[in-house]
A and B are shown apart, each in its own frame.
Chain A
Amino acid sequence: MKRWVATTTAILMVLSMVLLAACGKDSSNAMAEKQVLNVGYITSEPPALDPLKGTDEISDLVMRHVLEGLVRLDENGNPIPGIATKWDVMDGGKKIIFHLRDAKWSNGDPVTAQDFEYAWKRMLDPKNAAEYAYQLFYLKNGEAYNSGKAKAEDVGVKALDDKTLEVTLESPTPYFIPLTAFHALFPVDKKVAEKNPNWGTDAKTYVGNDPFLLKTWVHDKKIELVKNPNYWDAKNVKLTQINFPFIGEEQTEYQMYVSGSLDMSRNVPPDLAVGLIKEKKAKIIHQPALYYYIFNTKKKPFDNVKIRKAFSLAIDREAIVKDVLGQGQTPATGWVPWGIRDFNQNKEWVQTHAPYIQPKANPAEAKKLLQEGMKEEGITQLPDITISYNTNEGHKKIAEAIQQMWKQNLGVNVKLANTEWKVFLDNLTQGNFQVARYGWVPDYMDPMTFMDMWVTGGGNNNAKYSNPQYDALIKQAKATGDQKVRMEAMHKAEDILARDMPVAPIYNYTQVYLLKDYVKGVEIEPDGSFTFTHAYLTEK
């Protein structure tokens, strides 16, 4: 009898524990009473929260939560309605008519087409000296007005009435519509900005039209956003407040995350990241960005294509991402990184072509090419090779690994030279380098942002590369709105890059972040940035 009681009690206990655990699981999905999110994201003061002046990632993060443009982007980078409910593309892609919804500014003013026209012309006005004016050079006469060669009236943006905005472009630009989701093209409340040009410098005078309002902006300390009851989709916004304390040190941010004062951390110390990923405590996202080495094609020995190819082939990209970095990065297989789409085949760009570059080094082929290249140049000994990079522990480690690979695979002695960031950039522009590291993050989600860099005389063409055939293909892609023609031209252009190798792509970037289990609904934009509009907290 006693044994029976004991057995029954044990079974009941186990059952009740299972039930309790199950209940516990249920309750963890219940919404938390307090919907306040503390985010470790901002490392220093945002330079500006007025779209006219903000150019950096931090200003962009805040502006994306307090201001809304014509469209938003879905997870694939396709435009979905924002302030515009629909848009008509006409005239072979050169004209777009946006139809706006009934939306309000946080001061109660209606958001009108005039607000967009005003904001864009304000951005292009040469007197305002906006750094991001070039993001509006796609507009007809946008560049001409910015350089004082045309008047404001000539610019291709016009409010037909309060709710209709007509946009005329210089040439068909399929990525212009998604570009309106970028903060440089956000609207400003015309009435407010005309009366007070400094409206965007203080939380008290700040006017927004997004799910959140700028409640507090204490310089060098914190930004607090609260829910905007006037937002058109306010019913789908669950958070009541987002706090962004400014934390300058990754280690400090990590300790605050562990202690529970932060619910999310985006700045994970690199030395901890590898371990945290292994323990599945940290998450990784793929950033559509490329890390690469630039060859100075105007200086010996890298003016020879075979020598450039030999040096590229001698790099073991797999070893770099696995042994040096270890944060989920992948070896680059071409010039357009992962995350960028081919809009013709509707696939990831990297999946639409055979890899141009192999992850493993090919020492035999590299040595052969080096010998042939040297013969072509009539040299028996290579001059000293120097890798330039800007002062940073990560760049140093990669440079050291590549130094070792070139020594081992090519028998070449390589020196390393690190300089401070702006000195490094200055050297690059002046052409005072042989091989230098670089990275490129897209301006907009289209392969063009990676491809048009290498046209002859391009501002960012630090390799000083020039190939008329390549230039013609890029020109062709820029002149049309036909995605098939554009994509095919860019694929052909990429083939040429693979042949000429002015740069050696190394790896595709990742972003490591920490997020508590009870935080749900955090959205990751196609460009790798975060949005908290639909985030919410469940019970801990």
Chain B
Amino acid sequence: MLRYLGQRLVMMLVSLWLIATLTFMMMLAVPGDPFTGEKKLPPETLKNLKAAYHLDKSYPEQYLYYMKNLVMLDLGPSIKYTTRTVNQIISEGFPASAQLGVQAIILSLILGLLLGAIAALRQNRIPDYTATLIAVLGVSVPSFVLAPILQKYLGLEWELLPIATWDGFEYSIMPTIALAVLPLAMVTRLMRSSMLEVLSQDYIRTARSKGLSPSRVIVRHTLRNAILPVVTIMGPLTAGILTGSFVIEKIFSIPGIGKYFVDSVTNRDYPVIMGITIFYSAILILMNFLVDLIYGWVDPRIKVGHKEAS
């Protein structure tokens, strides 16, 4: 097990290094630089600015300089937000993004599993149709359409919740709903089909014929197996929600780091592009690793760290 963990750790670091290197190369290949603006700067000023951010050096020198700092976990200064470092931007912004993401994941998991299970157990009846309708709507209505609708009704018309900004739990409710709808729909659909498949398996019939109570059959034998496909998608889904909430953060004016993900590219803010990409990649890699561990725990047949006998 320890050896497996060690191997995984090395692989994770290699992946991160590859991502960082590729991002660095692609970033420099894009036309324009941080100082390309509406009004051109005098050449001398531009020279001073480039020198201040080490952009006057050759690409290999810039790369080595960046990597050296990265090893020390120093992501450098932001070029656009001149008084902040990338480490500050991430440490100040991530708590809000994370809170929103975690709430959305919990909401989508609980409701999604419940709706999916009910739909499967009541197949082709009203609860099934209702859950399927919710799932279809969730997949087809984008969050940036749903968000203003929530703002208009829950915020403006019925005055139940604040329209935007971030000042306490009630401010997080609407964005959480808007963010949770898509993963909720995905979990519902996946859970429903996987439940239906498990329910048709022989061992369920066996369990029923042995006289086990229906609730015991569902909880002990069906749910545990049906949940596996959901666990599989949880890694990328969680990373996606934690990192992909920039539209929702923008609409609800949430002080997260989502917007930096997009804006840094628009601004050609090189250190922020690198820093946020590496940070998000680390989350994605970590989530996939956690999912592998949970997988082994949910289904003991999958032994983490043991190669299958050929």
A residues near B, CB below 8 A? 44-45, 47-50, 53-54, 126-131, 133-134, 137, 143, 146-148, 198, 200-201, 218-222, 245-249, 251-252, 255-256, 258-259, 261, 420-423, 425-427, 429, 439, 443, 459-460
Instruction: Report chain B residues within 8 Å CB of A258.
Output: 156
- In the assembled complex, the Cα of A126 lies from the Cα of B162 at a distance in Å of 47
Interface string of B143-173 (1 = CB under 8 A from A): 0000010011001100100111110000000
Closest 7 CB pairs of A and B: A422-B32, A220-B255, A147-B44, A129-B52, A459-B40, A426-B31, A53-B82
Instruction: Report chain B residues within 8 Å CB of A49.
Output: 83
Query: Are B252 and A252 interface neighbours, CB within 8 A?
Result: yes
Residue B292 at the chain A interface, CB threshold 8 Å:
no
Instruction: Report chain A residues within 8 Å CB of B47.
Output: 147
B residues near A, CB below 8 A? 30-33, 35-42, 44-45, 47-49, 51-52, 80-84, 88-89, 92-93, 148, 151-152, 155-156, 159, 162-166, 249-253, 255-256, 259, 263, 266, 268
Instruction: Report chain B residues within 8 Å CB of A201.
Output: 83-84
- In the assembled complex, the Cα of A126 lies from the Cα of B45 at a distance in Å of 8
Query: Are A423 and B83 interface neighbours, CB within 8 A?
Result: no
Query: Are B165 and A134 interface neighbours, CB within 8 A?
Result: no
Instruction: Report chain A residues within 8 Å CB of B263.
Output: 44
- In the assembled complex, the Cα of A134 lies from the Cα of B49 at a distance in Å of 13
Query: Are A126 and B163 interface neighbours, CB within 8 A?
Result: no
Q: A252-B151, A252-B251, A255-B152 are in contact. Are A261 and B44 (CB under 8 A)?
A: no
Query: Are B81 and A48 interface neighbours, CB within 8 A?
Result: yes
Q: A220-B93, A252-B253, A422-B268 are in contact. Are A129 and B42 (CB under 8 A)?
A: no
Instruction: Report chain B residues within 8 Å CB of A429.
Output: 36, 40
- In the assembled complex, the Cα of A443 lies from the Cα of B259 at a distance in Å of 29
Instruction: Report chain A residues within 8 Å CB of B52.
Output: 129
Instruction: Report chain A residues within 8 Å CB of B93.
Output: 219-220
- In the assembled complex, the Cα of A218 lies from the Cα of B88 at a distance in Å of 12
**B33, B35, B40, B250, most chain A CB atoms within 10 A:** B40
With both chains docked as a complex, state the minimum distance between the C-beta of B161 and any C-beta of chain A, in angstroms. Answer: 11
- In the assembled complex, the Cα of A134 lies from the Cα of B40 at a distance in Å of 11
- Give the residue of B36, B80, B89 whose beta carbon is less than 8 angstroms from that of A422: B36
- In the assembled complex, the Cα of A89 lies from the Cα of B39 at a distance in Å of 30
Q: A133-B45, A425-B37 are in contact. Are A47 and B148 (CB under 8 A)?
A: no
- Give the residue of B35, B83, B156, B249 whose beta carbon is less than 8 angstroms from that of A259: B156
Residue of B nearest to A427 (CB): B31
With both chains docked as a complex, state the minimum distance between the C-beta of B127 and any C-beta of chain A, in angstroms. Answer: 35
Given A255-B164, A423-B30, A423-B32, 6 additional A-B pairs, CB 8 A? A48-B82, A201-B84, A245-B253, A248-B250, A261-B163, A459-B41
- In the assembled complex, the Cα of A425 lies from the Cα of B40 at a distance in Å of 10
Q: A422-B36, A443-B39 are in contact. Are A248 and B44 (CB under 8 A)?
A: no
Query: Are A459 and B165 interface neighbours, CB within 8 A?
Result: no
Q: A146-B45, A201-B83, A219-B84 are in contact. Are A460 and B40 (CB under 8 A)?
A: yes
Q: List 26 A-B contacts (CB under 8 A).
A: A54-B82, A126-B48, A129-B45, A129-B52, A131-B35, A133-B48, A134-B45, A219-B92, A220-B92, A220-B259, A248-B253, A251-B148, A252-B151, A252-B163, A252-B252, A255-B151, A255-B164, A259-B155, A259-B163, A421-B32, A422-B30, A422-B33, A422-B36, A422-B266, A425-B32, A426-B32
Query: Are A47 and B156 interface neighbours, CB within 8 A?
Result: no
Query: Are B40 and A200 interface neighbours, CB within 8 A?
Result: no
Instruction: Decide if the interface of chain B is mainly helix, strand, loop or mixed.
Output: loop
Query: Are B45 and A425 interface neighbours, CB within 8 A?
Result: no
- In the assembled complex, the Cα of A410 lies from the Cα of B49 at a distance in Å of 46
- In the assembled complex, the Cα of A38 lies from the Cα of B32 at a distance in Å of 37
- In the assembled complex, the Cα of A196 lies from the Cα of B40 at a distance in Å of 31
Instruction: Report chain A residues within 8 Å CB of B41.
Output: 131, 134, 459
- Give the residue of B33, B81, B259 whose beta carbon is less than 8 angstroms from that of A248: B259
Instruction: Report chain A residues within 8 Å CB of B40.
Output: 429, 459-460
Query: Are B49 and A247 interface neighbours, CB within 8 A?
Result: no
Residue of B nearest to A132 (CB): B45
Instruction: Report chain A residues within 8 Å CB of B48.
Output: 126-130, 133, 146
Instruction: Report chain B residues within 8 Å CB of A126.
Output: 44, 48
- In the assembled complex, the Cα of A318 lies from the Cα of B263 at a distance in Å of 35
- In the assembled complex, the Cα of A197 lies from the Cα of B133 at a distance in Å of 59
- In the assembled complex, the Cα of A259 lies from the Cα of B152 at a distance in Å of 10
Query: Are B253 and A247 interface neighbours, CB within 8 A?
Result: yes
**B38, B40, B83, B148, most chain A CB atoms within 10 A:** B83
With both chains docked as a complex, state the minimum distance between the C-beta of B274 and any C-beta of chain A, in angstroms. Answer: 17
- In the assembled complex, the Cα of A255 lies from the Cα of B45 at a distance in Å of 42
Residue of A nearest to B250 (CB): A248
Query: Are A45 and B253 interface neighbours, CB within 8 A?
Result: no
With both chains docked as a complex, state the minimum distance between the C-beta of B26 and any C-beta of chain A, in angstroms. Answer: 14
Residue of A nearest to B35 (CB): A131
Query: Are A423 and B39 interface neighbours, CB within 8 A?
Result: no
Instruction: Report chain A residues within 8 Å CB of B31.
Output: 422-423, 426-427
**A131, A200, A439, A460, most chain B CB atoms within 10 A:** A131
Residue of A nearest to B52 (CB): A129
Instruction: Report chain A residues within 8 Å CB of B88.
Output: 219
Instruction: Report chain B residues within 8 Å CB of A128.
Output: 48
Q: A221-B255, A222-B165 are in contact. Are A131 and B49 (CB under 8 A)?
A: yes
